[in-house]
């Protein structure tokens, strides 16, 4: 609502007189009631002393003859006699353009029963407060006193749908919704719970970008599973109910919820899986309804399938070695997961909140151990493996394992339909050692490059048994005997025995020298050996010179032909 503004109109220049006595001809000094805290929201226009632009509680000297307020802004007007008092039964009428719009019965100064009016239409009005000095009725008044003034009412800025927002955030937290959170994966659990599955924040703005506070209302509805809960509060976790009671603020369709600058709509699960669309609409003070936001929420059911994909499957032999990065929020680094597990319901949507175990086909090679954390997809998580329904997992090799050994891990989770069974998926692992007692090779993706052309530098490592070096082993840094573009490959990580500076020329980070001729790449292998690779940069001018030589040869041949023809014609 608009803030209440209070003005006090005082009849000044009078000596003390008995109640209901003649009060004479009033002037119109106006003072602000010291008890009023919202008076600063009213713009009073007055012929006050020059330079006086600040309104404070207390007496204002000079004659104030006009006020300016906004539409839909309630204004309370109090009248008091300066140096005297009105009677407790005096009557007061407020009129605009001759029409009475508010009345009051006075006490000493109309403080307990103020003249209150809320103008609904913009315009400039001839306002008047008429005091009936009487103890009974207006007709019986012994005197009437008029206090005329000009009341200008200006329109409040209108509602702006383009400046207002209805962003959504998924989950039970109290993260402020934004365009970034709205863009995240919108899959949530269908299990009925007190946890919020999503929260839509309706931030209402006017055409100036300020908070819209002029009698707006919000309506919202959900199509598909789930229900909504509205609250005029800051975002708060755990606002849903397992067994909700539908009413004005809870249900599948909410209507005419009074809003000011901000309110929230919680999206709750009801136990049913499926895709839902939430539509939020705003009705402004002029009764115009506009769709603020349409948001989609996918409620997932029980898991029906898991798919385990091996990312790093060349485990390190000869010890209980952990392989893979199982962190939920992978934001930096080059470490990879050993396994990514995707869990889906019958509709193919991701399922959260699962736990996984594993069984090894050869416990002496790979332990029956797996550690998984559900992937987190956020704007900061640049290494997300997919978001909701994806799990990053690490595994552990056995102390008795040797290079060349193999084992299959069966990843499993309890079947929600039958707790005695599991949903499973297999990943095969091969064991290998380091390159410390093995060998490493350095290579270019091409033998010849144009000046500044993108290059891919690959390091290949094998252990002493000739098997690809274990995943996660460190590959050496590379240097060049000539200046190259971009960045020379730093130490990297072997996966399936190779470590490349980039996956393609389009993502290259290092570029060939610009000077023509051969150049050498050098690295120090894990066994201490120096390994090299050679490539050549072509001379860009060589092709041009070849073309010039060919053209010159053609010109010489043409001149010879012309000379022969002229000789036959006898032309000298």
Regarding whether 150 and 10 lie in a shared domain, the answer is yes
Rounded Cα–Cα distance for residues 429 and 409 (Å):
8
Regarding whether 531 and 419 lie in a shared domain, the answer is no
Regarding whether 326 and 268 lie in a shared domain, the answer is no
Domain end marker among 250, 275, 300: 300
Is residue 305, in this structure, part of any structural domain at all?
Answer: no
Return the pLDDT at 340. Answer: 95
Return the pLDDT at 4. Answer: 32
Q: Where are the alpha helices (DSSP H) in 255-307?
A: none
Is residue 563, in this structure, part of any structural domain at all?
Answer: no
Is residue 307, in this structure, part of any structural domain at all?
Answer: no
Regarding whether 137 and 201 lie in a shared domain, the answer is no
List, for residues 465-490, the tens digit of each pLDDT value. Answer: 999 999 999 999 999 999 999 999 99
Is residue 88, in this structure, part of any structural domain at all?
Answer: yes
**For the chain, what is the domain count?**
4
Is residue 561, in this structure, part of any structural domain at all?
Answer: no
Q: What is the DSSP letter of 158?
A: P
Return the pLDDT at 554. Answer: 84
Is residue 200, in this structure, part of any structural domain at all?
Answer: yes
Q: Domain limits at 73?
A: 5-154
Regarding whether 219 and 206 lie in a shared domain, the answer is yes
The CATH number linked to 484 is 2.60.40.1930
What SS3 class is residue 200? strand
Q: Where are the alpha helices (DSSP H) in 144-288?
A: 179-182
Cβ-contact 536, 455 below 8 angstroms: no
Domain end marker among 154, 188, 203: 154
- Which string of b and e fits 521-541 if b means at least 16 CB within 10 Å? bebebbeeeebebebebeeee
Within a 10 A sphere around the Cβ of 296, how many other Cβ atoms?
Answer: 12
Q: Choose among 431, 459, 480: nearest CA to 526.
A: 459
Regarding whether 62 and 129 lie in a shared domain, the answer is yes
Within a 10 A sphere around the Cβ of 294, how many other Cβ atoms?
Answer: 11
Is residue 558, in this structure, part of any structural domain at all?
Answer: no
Regarding whether 251 and 171 lie in a shared domain, the answer is yes
Domain end marker among 126, 154, 182: 154
Bridge-partner residues for 449, per DSSP?
A: 537
Residue 46: partners with Cβ closer than 8 Å, 6 or more residues away: 30, 60, 62, 63, 64, 65, 66
Kind plus residue range of the DSSP H or E element containing 521: strand 517-524
Q: Cα-atom radius of gyration of the chain, to the nearest Å? A: 42
The CATH number linked to 86 is 2.60.40
Percent of the chain with pLDDT over 90: 56
Q: Strands of 457-462's sheet, edge to edge?
A: 439-444, 457-462, 498-500
Cβ-contact 280, 257 below 8 angstroms: no
Q: Which residues of the chain have pLDDT under 70?
A: 1-65, 76, 78-88, 106-114, 135, 331-334, 378-382, 540, 542-545, 571-572
Regarding whether 146 and 75 lie in a shared domain, the answer is yes
Regarding whether 29 and 122 lie in a shared domain, the answer is yes
Is residue 198, in this structure, part of any structural domain at all?
Answer: yes
Regarding whether 472 and 396 lie in a shared domain, the answer is no
The CATH number linked to 259 is 2.60.40.10
Regarding whether 512 and 473 lie in a shared domain, the answer is yes
Q: What is the Cα 125 distance to its own chain's centre? A: 47
Regarding whether 337 and 294 lie in a shared domain, the answer is no
Q: Of how many residues is the chain composed?
A: 572
């Amino acid at each position: 609502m608009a803030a209440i503004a209070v003005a006090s109109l005082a009849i000044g220049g009078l000596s003390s007189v008995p109640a209901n006595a003649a009060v004479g001809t009033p002037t119109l000094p106006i003072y602000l009631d010291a008890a009023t805290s919202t008076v600063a929201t009213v713009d009073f226009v007055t012929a006050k002393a020059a330079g006086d632009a600040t309104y404070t509680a207390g007496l204002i000297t000079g004659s104030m003859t006009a006020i300016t307020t906004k539409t839909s802004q309630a204004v309370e007007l109090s009248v008091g006699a300066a140096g005297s008092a009105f009677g407790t039964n005096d009557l007061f009428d407020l009129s605009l353009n001759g029409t009475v719009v508010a009345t009051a019965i006075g006490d000493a100064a109309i403080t307990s029963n103020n003249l209150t009016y809320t103008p609904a239409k913009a315009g400039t009005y001839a306002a008047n407060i008429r005091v009936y000095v009487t103890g009974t009725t207006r007709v019986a008044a012994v005197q009437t006193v008029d206090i005329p003034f000009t009341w200008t009412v200006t329109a409040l800025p209108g509602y702006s749908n383009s400046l207002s927002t209805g962003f959504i955030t998924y989950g039970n937290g109290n993260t402020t919704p934004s365009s970034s959170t709205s863009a995240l994966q919108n899959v949530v659990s269908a299990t009925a719970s007190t946890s919020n599955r999503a929260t839509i924040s309706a931030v209402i703005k006017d055409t100036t970008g300020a908070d819209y506070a002029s009698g707006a209302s919000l309506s919202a509805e959900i199509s598909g599973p789930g229900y909504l809960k509205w609250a005029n509060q800051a975002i708060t976790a755990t606002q849903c109910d397992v067994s909700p009671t539908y009413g004005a603020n809870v249900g599948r369709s909410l209507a005419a919820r009074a809003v000011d600058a901000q309110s929230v709509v919680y999206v709750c699960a009801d136990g049913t899986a499926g895709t839902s669309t939430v539509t939020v609409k705003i009705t402004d003070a002029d009764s115009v309804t506009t769709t603020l936001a349409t948001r989609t929420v996918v409620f997932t059911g029980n898991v029906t399938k898991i798919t385990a994909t091996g990312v790093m499957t060349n485990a390190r032999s000869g010890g209980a070695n952990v392989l893979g990065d199982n962190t939920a929020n992978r934001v930096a680094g080059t470490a990879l997961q050993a396994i990514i597990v995707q869990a889906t319901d019958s509709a193919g949507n991701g399922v959260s909140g699962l736990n996984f175990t594993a069984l090894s086909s050869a416990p002496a090679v790979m332990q029956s151990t797996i550690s998984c954390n559900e992937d987190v997809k956020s704007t900061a998580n640049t290494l997300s493996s997919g978001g909701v329904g994806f799990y990053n997992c690490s595994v552990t090799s056995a102390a008795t394992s040797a290079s060349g050994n193999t084992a299959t891990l069966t990843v499993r989770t309890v079947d929600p339909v039958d707790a005695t069974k599991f949903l499973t998926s297999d990943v095969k692992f091969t064991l290998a050692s380091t390159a410390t007692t093995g060998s490493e090779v350095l290579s270019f993706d091409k033998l010849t490059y144009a000046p500044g052309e993108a290059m891919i530098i690959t390091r290949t490592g094998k252990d002493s048994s000739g098997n690809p070096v274990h995943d996660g082993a460190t590959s050496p840094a590379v240097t060049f005997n000539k200046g190259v573009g971009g960045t020379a490959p730093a130490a990297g990580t072997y996966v399936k025995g190779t470590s490349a500076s980039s996956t393609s020329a389009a993502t290259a980070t290092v570029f060939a020298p610009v000077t023509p001729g051969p150049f050498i790449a050098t690295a120090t292998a894990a066994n201490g050996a120096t390994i090299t690779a050679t490539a050549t940069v072509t001379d860009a001018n060589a092709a041009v010179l070849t073309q010039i030589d060919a053209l010159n040869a053609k010109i010489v041949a043409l001149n010879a032909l012309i000379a022969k023809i002229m000789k036959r014609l006898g032309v000298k």
